[in-house]
A and B are shown apart, each in its own frame.
Chain A
């Protein structure tokens, strides 16, 4: 069974440029998460989707970050414009609904903003 797929794995951009990350969750997983992980820290939730609906985006900096999951499967996270402080690893995870706190994480996209 394929795991969570993310692309690109690495991205280097200059500040003020836009950037987008793509995630394909495990087939059948209705819940999708985007996390941000800074060096030496644990992941922090940015947004959670139940199918197409963003049910928790309280931690998403909405002035520059946006996300979508139009058909309830793949998702895209966008930053526009990027700032130096956005350099981090962006992780996507998916899970089945209910019964366990097991989330399946992708390998992440390492973003470097110069």
Chain B
């Protein structure tokens, strides 16, 4: 599975747009990019998944350039409740990937008032 690199931490203020970039230089053709969010004392929660270009849902947008060697999770107008750890994962989809997800250290986002 492709290894990912993302910043250890980021700070932001309420109302700002936050962009977290993840590098995955060795991404394979069949790999998808998935982002999870984890609050303290909770399990991770799926945010968004994409293969190329742009994916948007009610929570976030995911931008993937043509070479797919990186991706950017965009959180619009963050609030204090968006303070969490964000994980970028890269891998094929089940059943080919056998469901195994490899989490790195993630990016700790601190949103300030």
Contact = CB atoms under 8 A, between A and B. Distances in A.
Interface of A: 4, 31, 33, 40-45, 48, 55-56, 91, 93, 95, 97-108, 110
A42 B104 contact: yes
Interface residues of B, number: 25
B45 A105 contact: yes
Contact of B41 (A4, A31, A100, A107): A107
7 contacts: A4-B43, A43-B103, A44-B103, A45-B102, A101-B34, A105-B43, A107-B43
Contacts of A100: 49, 93-94
Given A95-B94, A97-B95, A99-B93, 7 more contacts: A42-B103, A42-B105, A43-B43, A43-B101, A56-B99, A56-B100, A103-B44
Contacts of B98: 48, 55-56
* Nearest 10 pairs of A and B residues by beta carbon: A105-B43, A42-B103, A102-B46, A101-B34, A98-B94, A91-B43, A43-B103, A105-B44, A98-B95, A106-B43
A99 B45 CA distance: 17
A48 B95 CA distance: 13
Contact of A103 (B95, B99, B106): B99
Give the one of A56, A97, A100 with max B CB within 10 A.
Answer: A100
B77 to A, nearest CB: 24
Contacts of B99: 31, 33, 48, 56, 95, 101, 103
Contacts of B34: 101-102
Given A33-B99, A48-B99, A97 B43 contact: no
Nearest to A106: B43
Give the one of B43, B93, B100 with max A CB within 10 A.
Answer: B43
B87 interface: yes
A44 B102 CA distance: 7
Interface in B75-113: 87, 89, 91, 93-95, 97-106
